[in-house]
Structure 1
């Protein structure tokens, strides 16, 4: 799904700018437009953009989405920040103060609190920050600009560190997104930013398009940021049907459409023997980590639990699918929690973070987690051979069954685990598991 973020400098009131913008959106197949300063605040009616519907906002910050998509939830916590829910991804669109460093520093501190309130949910923080993140990102003539103060840069670094987001356009040579002559000198800034959760960086492509301000058909004086995000948005109800389902059922016509149900339990294998991963745990890991108690989190039908018990460990299982018969344990404090082929069947990063967080809640402080996933190469081949349709950052392995698969490498497992309060277990032995991916993680001491 392609998202565009651009400061339109209040130009949508002009028919020519709207026409050029609509043509550019069609050319690039943009699905969501985040706009800073789209039109003059005194204009109470948002301008119409061909092929798009207005989803919320005002002349300071606004959102349009492709007319074939359901409108996302949009709110405005502050006049300078807008919160947009795109399925599992939260977007904070910002337009920071254009005049004083002190105000921008205060806004960044407040933005850090807003990000923390999302409790680890995947984040995109984008828009016009009106600052240069590094000295080389802001130039006045041939010298670094003094417009950006150290206090706001410090707050920006704190925001990025605390929220685990990366500056996706921070190349060694800055791609300036704004240029204007002031007092006879060229002022250049990389001020239009896209800060993205670090675990999404591999699956997201971000580019700055300067043509929107330099081409003959330009419609603004800022570059646009284009983000190809691993998000599949829900389709809108077609307008040209003869009658709606609510006409037959009597349900509220404004009620949301039923969504396709995910059924990850249908990927559980009926094993007659323990998995190779559980055998590797008992052979290579349990003794070296001093494991006496183990919980198999997402145990399916429980074949691995039986293996752990046969190996002399005190083992329990848990699976949220009640029919498997492994209810949530009444105890915690396990030496080891295993998560075998669970993350790769969950359809988005937020659900994976929540699953890891829940698994970690059963481990004792100083205890360990072992996470095993199918590999990206294996899933890519299966998807190609099976014609699996793309969905979010993976594939529907069966749309009729509601089953999803994504290959997850150890680097991504670790990045997701950090959001769940876990860390790599330095010095822990790696498991001989060819063809699959895994990570050994540590739950830090309190």
Structure 2
């Protein structure tokens, strides 16, 4: 889903600018519009954008969504920040103070607290920050501008470092998103930013056509953000796969709705999985295992294998019909998560599943995470004509089953978000080419 973030410099009230914006949105296939300073006065009735529904906001910050999509939940914690829920992703749209560096530094500190309160929810922060993240990102003439203070840059660094956000447009050579003559000199800034959770893979580009040429409608470049989010066209009747039993989440949160049915991907095995045989052959001895929990065990074929090898083993699967309820005890030597992350439809649920798995490990214990590879899933999707959905595919919309290929690097990033780190005593796990595995342990 393509999202556009842009400072409209209060021009949306003009019919010409509105027509140019609408044409630009159509050319690019934009589905969500986040606008800073869209119109004046701030409390006026929002202008109509053809093909879009007003989702919320005012003349400081406003959001529109394509009229064929369900409107997201929008709130305004402060006049300078707007919170938008796009399925599993939270977007914070900001317009920081345009005049005082001290005010911007204070707003960044408040933003840091807001992000921390979101926990491990995947996040995008976009909008006009009214600052240059690096000295070279702000020029007055050919010289470094003094507009941005060191305190602001320090507050921005703290925001990103403490919350695991990356500056997606920080190229080696700045791509300026704002240019205007100031006192006879050209003022150029990379001030329109998109900060993204580091475990997400998202393409962000700055489009200068919004402020250049005959069809320009503002003096800021637009940020085009290609999000791995599939919004509902209508309100679903079904319920998304509930992780509330697994994680204790409020059932009203996106990760606890129904409709996804990952349990339908569970295979009826007559023999243990290759992954479980690798565990007993290559991990049991080196790690001195005596107990195992198979987290997301499905029908439990691997549990029988572990028990046959003399390991004290239990299973857990949130699908009641499989008959593996949540264990009453913790303190297992090893937790296995085999082909679980692949079938969960968004990064937030994957992180929650890993956090829950880790909660069963003893101090010094391990969690082994096994996934199907991106290559294997891509081939299955091509062969089966699967429909893209979020960051993966509906493998069967009628069954409600989802699949995404996940490589070792992505496993590691998700695991770190869940409080797990790669184990330094990890032996090589000889799995088949269509699989990836990472041995982790809870962070000390």
TM-score range, shorter chain: over 0.9
Tell me how far apart the structure 1 counterparts of residues 424 and 333 of structure 2 sit (CA, whole Å): 16
Question: Are 2:119 and 1:100 equivalent residues in the alignment?
Answer: no
Given the superposition, is the C-alpha separation of residues 161 and 42 from structure 1 closer, same or farther in structure 2, using an over 3 Å criterion? closer
Match of 2:2 in 1: 2
Tell me how far apart the structure 2 counterparts of residues 45 and 236 of structure 1 sit (CA, whole Å): 26
Question: Are 2:212 and 1:214 equivalent residues in the alignment?
Answer: yes
1:387 is aligned, of 385, 388, 391, to 385
Match of 1:55 in 2: 55
Q: Deviations over 1:353-393 (max 9, x none)?
A: 11111111111232211111110000000000100011111
2:286 is aligned, of 270, 285, 288, to 288
Which secondary structure does the structure 1 equivalent of 2:285 belong to?
Answer: coil
Q: Deviations over 1:16-59 (max 9, x none)?
A: 00000000001111000000000013452000111111000000
User: Does the Cα contact within 8 Å between 2:169 and 2:193 map onto a contact in 1?
Assistant: yes
**Aligned-pair CA distance for 1:164:** 1.1
Which secondary structure does the structure 1 equivalent of 2:139 belong to?
Answer: strand
Q: Deviations over 1:275-313 (max 9, x none)?
A: 111111111112222222111000011111111111121
User: Does the Cα contact within 8 Å between 1:67 and 1:236 map onto a contact in 2?
Assistant: no
User: Does the Cα contact within 8 Å between 2:42 and 2:58 map onto a contact in 1?
Assistant: no
**Aligned-pair CA distance for 1:430:** 2.6
Tell me how far apart the structure 1 counterparts of residues 168 and 424 of structure 2 sit (CA, whole Å): 28
Match of 1:164 in 2: 164
User: Does the Cα contact within 8 Å between 2:75 and 2:82 map onto a contact in 1?
Assistant: yes
Match of 2:327 in 1: 329
User: Does the Cα contact within 8 Å between 1:164 and 1:197 map onto a contact in 2?
Assistant: yes
Tell me how far apart the structure 1 counterparts of residues 197 and 427 of structure 2 sit (CA, whole Å): 29
1:361 is aligned, of 359, 362, 383, to 359
TM-score, scaled relative to structure 2: 0.93
Q: State the aligned residue count.
A: 422
Which secondary structure does the structure 2 equivalent of 1:199 belong to?
Answer: coil
Tell me how far apart the structure 1 counterparts of residues 357 and 209 of structure 2 sit (CA, whole Å): 47
User: Does the Cα contact within 8 Å between 1:345 and 1:404 map onto a contact in 2?
Assistant: yes
Match of 1:275 in 2: 273
Match of 1:443 in 2: 442
User: Does the Cα contact within 8 Å between 1:167 and 1:195 map onto a contact in 2?
Assistant: yes
Question: Are 2:406 and 1:408 equivalent residues in the alignment?
Answer: yes
Tell me how far apart the structure 2 counterparts of residues 302 and 43 of structure 1 sit (CA, whole Å): 59
Matches within 5 A, 1:193-204: 193-201=193-201, 204=202
Question: Are 2:112 and 1:118 equivalent residues in the alignment?
Answer: no
The range that moved more, 277-286 or 3-12, is 277-286
Tell me how far apart the structure 2 counterparts of residues 170 and 304 of structure 1 sit (CA, whole Å): 46
Which secondary structure does the structure 2 equivalent of 1:195 belong to?
Answer: strand
**Aligned-pair CA distance for 1:88:** 0.5
* Cα RMSD, aligned residues only: 1.2
Match of 1:240 in 2: none
TM-score, scaled relative to structure 1: 0.93
The range that moved more, 420-429 or 16-25, is 420-429
Which secondary structure does the structure 1 equivalent of 2:440 belong to?
Answer: strand
Tell me how far apart the structure 2 counterparts of residues 438 and 158 of structure 1 sit (CA, whole Å): 33
Given the superposition, is the C-alpha separation of residues 330 and 260 from structure 1 closer, same or farther in structure 2, using an over 3 Å criterion? closer
Match of 1:398 in 2: 396
Match of 2:244 in 1: none
Tell me how far apart the structure 1 counterparts of residues 333 and 13 of structure 2 sit (CA, whole Å): 63
List gaps (5 residues or longer) in structure 2: 236-256
Tell me how far apart the structure 2 counterparts of residues 42 and 167 of structure 1 sit (CA, whole Å): 29
**Aligned-pair CA distance for 1:260:** 7.2
User: Does the Cα contact within 8 Å between 1:336 and 1:367 map onto a contact in 2?
Assistant: yes
Tell me how far apart the structure 2 counterparts of residues 151 and 292 of structure 1 sit (CA, whole Å): 53
